[in-house]
Amino acid sequence: MKHNIFLLSILFIFAISSCSEEDLPEVAVYYTYLYWTSMADHQILRAVYQDDVLLQTEVVYGSLKGLDTPTALVVDEPNQMLYWTDFSTRQILRGAWDGSGNPEVLYTAPLRSYGPVELVMDTERLYWTQPYDQLILSAPANGLGPVDTLFDRSDGLNGPWGVDLEVSAGYLYWVEYEDNELWRVSLTENSTTELIYAGGSGFLNPYGIAISEGTGELFITDNALPGAAYADRILRGSLDGAMKLETVYDEEDGVSNAYAVVIDERSGELYWLNQLNAGSIYRGGVDGRATEELIMDIALGQGLCIVCSTHEPNVLMQ
C-alpha cells in the first residue's frame, strides 16, 4: 500500500512539473503611446508608458525629414502608421509611427489656400478641416484620392476647427470657433447637419473636441477671450446635445490655452495640450478626477494623439 502511494506521489509531481510555460495563458502587456506636435520646433514627438511608468520620450519626425509646421496627427495602430497635417506646406502626410523611413505626402492643398489644421480617420478615410478656407474635406487614407468637399462656406461654415468621429454611430462632429457652435452629420446616410450646441450654449471660444463613446459624452476645449468672466476650461456635453454644457476642468486644474483634447477609451483618461511658448500636456479623466502634468516645455504644441498597443517600443525603435 505504501509502495502504491509512493508511486502515485511520483506521478503527481511529474504531471505538475511537465506543465511548461507554454501551457500558461499569455497576459497581454499594453503600452501607451502619446504623440504630440511642436510647431515652433518643427517636430512630432512621442512618449511611451507602461503601467503609468514613462519608458522613453523621443523625436519621431523633425525638420530633417521635411516637417515645417505640424498641426494635427492620428495613429493607425494596426498598421503602425502615423498620419499628420502640416499647415505651412499645406500637406497631409504619413509615415511609420516609430519615425523610421521618410514621410509620404498624401495630399496637398492648392497654392492659394491655407493648410489643414485638424485631422481624424476611420479605417479607410481621412477627415480634416481647413478653417481659414471654411472647408471640411475627406479623402481615402491610402492617398489615392479624390478629395471630397463635405462642407464649405456655402453650407454656412464659419471657422471649422476641431473634428472627431463617433465611429459606432457613423457621425462626424466639428466645432466652429467663429460662431461658437458644435455640429454633427451622419456619414452613413443622406442627412442634413444637426446643430448640437448653438452659440449661447456656454461656449466662450471652442476649438478642440474629443468623443467618449464609452460614456456617450463629448469634451471641448474652450479658450476664453480677453476680458471674459471665465477662465480657459474643458467642457463636457452629450452627443445629442441634450445635456447642458458643464465645466470639467479649468485653470486651477492646469487648463491654459488648450487646443487639443483626446480620450483613452480603455482607461477613461482624458488628455489635453496647452498651446504656449512652453506648453504642456495634462492628464485627467472623463469623470473629472484629479489632474497631473505629464509633459512640459512644448514649444507651441498643436496636435495630440494617444493609442494603447501591445507592440513593444524596443522592437519598433531604430
- The CATH number assigned to the domain holding 199 equals 2.120.10.30
- pLDDT computed for residue 314 by the predictor: 59
How many secondary structure helices (H) and strands (E) does the chain include? Answer: 2, 24
Domain assignment of residue 163, yes or no: yes
Residue 240 has pLDDT above 50, yes or no: yes
Domain total of the chain: 1
Domain assignment of residue 196, yes or no: yes
Read off the C-alpha cell for 66: 521635411
Question: What is the residue-averaged pLDDT of the chain?
Answer: 90
Domain assignment of residue 61, yes or no: yes
Range of the domain at 107: 27-316
Domain assignment of residue 19, yes or no: no
Domain assignment of residue 228, yes or no: yes
Residue 73 has pLDDT above 90, yes or no: yes
* pTM of the full structure: 0.89
Residue 12 has pLDDT above 70, yes or no: no
- pLDDT computed for residue 91 by the predictor: 97
Task: Give ∠ CA 70-53-215 in degrees, rounded to 5.
Answer: 70
User: How much is the average pLDDT of 227-240?
Assistant: 91
User: How much is the average pLDDT of 288-297?
Assistant: 96
Domain assignment of residue 2, yes or no: no
- pLDDT computed for residue 113 by the predictor: 86
Read off the C-alpha cell for 232: 480657459
User: How much is the average pLDDT of 122-148?
Assistant: 94
- pLDDT computed for residue 4 by the predictor: 52
pLDDT band, very low/low/confident/very high, at 2 (cuts 50, 70, 90): very low
Give one DSSP letter per residue of 10-21, joined into a string: HHHHHHHHT--G
Q: In this structure, which amino acid lies at residue 43? A: Q
Domain assignment of residue 195, yes or no: yes
**Could you tell me which of 83, 88, 27 has the C-alpha nearest to residue 60?**
83
